[in-house]
A = this chain, B = another copy of it.
Amino acid sequence: MPVLSPGGQDICQTPEDWRRGPVETIAIRTGSRVEAVDITGQVQDVVSKSGAKSGVAVVCTAHTTAGVTINENADPDVMADVLDTLGRLVPKSGGYAHVEGNSDAHVKSTLVGHSVTVPVEEGRLQFGTWQGIYFCEFDGPRQRRLMVQILSAG
């Protein structure tokens, strides 16, 4: 069940291909073990390229030691507080059964969630004033991939 293109390049080149082709991917490189990356612009690019006017964008992590969330995009301290609090609730060392040393990252992935679903109107992601989409890295730094599926309304 191949999901992601080698190297993470765009699989589809045109709106026509996109509608017939596999789900779109976004590739990012994280720089720390725990980090929040604002991917709002990249998701909007996928929406724009799709030609979709009205519907939703479903944005999914392809990894089980990461998550996707929507939170404030004005003050970076907000996502820092989110990540710090998760680290306090789910510490890196905690008598876990899984022996790879990243159980905390798996737990955080379930708490934060695998995807977000964002309304689209007139070809634009629809947010409240302060909302942005964040990829949450919990076991980096790594090369990471997200999947974006666009669904039309009506």
* Residues on B with beta carbons closer than 8 Å to the beta carbon of A152: 151, 153-154
Task: Select A77's contact among B22, B23, B60, B99, beta carbons within 8 Å.
Answer: B99
Residues 29-61 of chain A, each 1 if its beta carbon lies under 8 Å from chain B, else 0: 000000000000000000000000011101011
Which residue on chain B has the smallest CB distance to residue A114? B70
* Residues on B with beta carbons closer than 8 Å to the beta carbon of A4: 128
Determine if A55 and B94 form an interchain contact, defined as CB atoms under 8 angstroms apart: no
Determine if B110 and A98 form an interchain contact, defined as CB atoms under 8 angstroms apart: no
Q: What 19 additional pairs, Cβ within 8 angstroms, besides A1-B125, A85-B94?
A: A1-B126, A20-B54, A58-B117, A62-B127, A64-B71, A70-B110, A77-B98, A81-B96, A81-B98, A85-B90, A89-B90, A111-B111, A113-B113, A114-B116, A117-B117, A119-B149, A126-B147, A128-B145, A149-B153
Q: Which chain A residues numbered 123 to 150 have a C-beta less than 8 Å away from chain B? A: 124-131, 145, 147, 149-150
Which residue on chain B has the smallest CB distance to residue A95? B84
- Whether A28 is near chain B, meaning CB under 8 Å from some CB there, is no
